[in-house]
């Protein structure tokens, strides 16, 4: 009996690198020859890289000039078709995604094609700081409603399409859960409403027109990796002090609130937020006042590192104001 030839596998390393600047969450992107924005990416080279993370750090520094600090592995992305070009019969790419946090980068990036871009440019329906984005009611819900009505009774999913639309987008009494970033993107992909689904040849995308209003597409499955990174960071805010990886060593409470709002995509009540910060005891005053606020001088604070020894899950369990 002849042996079946197996498709070779390659391992790629992809980084969602987040920074905050002027109260906006930014993601580091690099444009390829096709003009599409993507995340910094490179293959894992076993002879050169002892671990995946070492390989990731090496690729990012080589491609952008950034030396990463905080890094954590997100997920392994291996769906066929979401990294291959149409008709590609070459090696299958398995991409290991990482979340990395960096403080605002003031210098020039090594590659002229690399730059920080607002992450809501790619996921515009996730920014609720000024209330529900108009794109949800005007574009997303009508399109998803029509797609959900096409579902046949033979569905194999635990939740039918209509229920997933309602739960993920906070309709008909369901609340908006800011952590369901990936669920929402995957629903739009499944319904064929984002450009990536059309590029991948998804049947739903070929049956309907992609919505151009649904943000800027990214190459391969990088927008899916970005959605995973945003969801992870939003969840982690509540039980780990990761927000301080994005702030300068000294900051005002207003800067802290704006940073939390930028990440969560939600507006927070000022006094409630400050009571929460005081209750969680995550910061301590420096005794110095900042005059850079444009108004009255504001007290500067720093992260209180002793909290890491005092309890196992120090974070900011914020509640939004709708």
Least confident interval from 95-109, 157-171, 236-250: 95-109
pLDDT at 169: 97
Nearest CA-CA partner of 258 in 24, 28, 100? 24
- In angstroms, the CA 214 to CA 125 distance is 8
pLDDT at 322: 47
Q: Provide DSSP, 121-153.
A: GT-GGG-BBTBS-HHIIIIIHHHHHHHHHT--T
pLDDT band at 104 (very low <50, low <70, confident <90, very high): low
> What residues contact residue 83 under an 8 Å CB cut-off, 6+ apart?
12, 77, 92, 93, 95, 220, 221
pLDDT at 111: 54
- In angstroms, the CA 62 to CA 59 distance is 5
What tens digit of pLDDT does each residue of 58-74 get? 988 888 888 888 999 99
Least confident interval from 24-33, 259-268, 273-282, 291-300: 291-300
Tell me if 296 sits within 8 A of 256, measured CB to CB. no
pLDDT at 157: 78
| Burial label, 7 (beta-carbon count in 10 A; 0-12, 13-18, 19+) | exposed
Tell me if 316 sits within 8 A of 280, measured CB to CB. yes
Mean pLDDT for 78-87 is 62
pTM of the model: 0.91
Scored b (16 or more CB within 10 A) or e, 78-102 reads eeeebbbeeeeeeebbebbbbbbbb
Mean pLDDT of the chain: 87
Higher pLDDT, 192 or 313: 192
The helix or strand, by DSSP H or E, that contains position 227, with its residue range, turns out to be: helix 222-236
DSSP E strands: which ranges in the chain?
Answer: 9-21, 24-31, 37-38, 41-43, 70-77, 92-101, 114-118, 283-290, 298-303
pLDDT at 34: 72
Range of 74-78, 119-123, 147-151, 206-210 with top mean pLDDT? 119-123
Higher pLDDT, 28 or 210: 28
**Could you give the 3-state DSSP secondary structure of residue 262?**
helix
pLDDT at 321: 46
Least confident interval from 14-23, 80-89, 293-302, 304-313: 80-89
Q: What percent of the chain has pLDDT over 90?
A: 58
What tens digit of pLDDT does each residue of 194-235 get? 999 888 888 888 777 767 779 999 988 999 999 999 999 999
């Amino acid at each position: 009996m002849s042996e079946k030839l197996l498709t070779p596998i390659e391992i790629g390393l992809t980084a969602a690198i987040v920074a905050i600047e002027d109260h906006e969450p930014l993601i580091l992107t690099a444009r390829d020859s096709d003009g599409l924005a993507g995340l910094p990416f490179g293959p894992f080279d076993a002879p050169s890289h002892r671990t995946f993370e070492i390989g990731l750090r090496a690729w990012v520094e080589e491609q952008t000039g950034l030396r990463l600090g905080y890094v954590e592995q997100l997920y392994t992305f291996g769906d066929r078709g979401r990294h291959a070009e149409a008709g590609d019969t070459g090696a299958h790419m398995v991409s290991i995604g990482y979340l990395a946090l960096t403080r605002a980068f003031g210098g020039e990036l090594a590659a002229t094609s690399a730059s920080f871009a607002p992450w809501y440019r790619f996921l515009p329906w996730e920014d609720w700081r000024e209330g529900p984005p108009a794109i949800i009611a005007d574009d997303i819900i009508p399109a998803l409603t029509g797609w959900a009505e096409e579902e046949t009774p033979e569905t194999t999913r635990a939740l039918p399409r209509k229920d997933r639309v309602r739960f993920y987008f906070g309709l008909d009494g369901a609340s908006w859960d800011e952590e369901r970033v990936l669920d929402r993107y995957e629903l739009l992909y499944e319904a064929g409403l984002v450009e990536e689904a059309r590029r991948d040849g998804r049947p739903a995308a070929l049956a309907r027109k992609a919505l151009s209003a649904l943000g800027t597409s990214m190459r391969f499955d990088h927008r899916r990796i970005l959605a995973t990174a945003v969801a992870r960071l939003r969840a982690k805010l509540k039980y780990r002090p990761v927000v301080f990886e994005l702030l300068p060593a000294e900051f005002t409470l207003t800067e802290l609130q704006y940073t939390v709002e930028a990440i969560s995509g939600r507006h927070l009540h000022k006094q409630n937020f400050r009571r929460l910060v005081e209750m969680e005891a995550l910061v301590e005053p420096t005794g110095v006042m900042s005059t850079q606020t444009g108004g009255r001088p504001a007290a500067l604070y720093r992260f209180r590192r002793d909290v890491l020894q005092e309890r196992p899950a120090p974070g900011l369990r914020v509640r939004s104001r709708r």
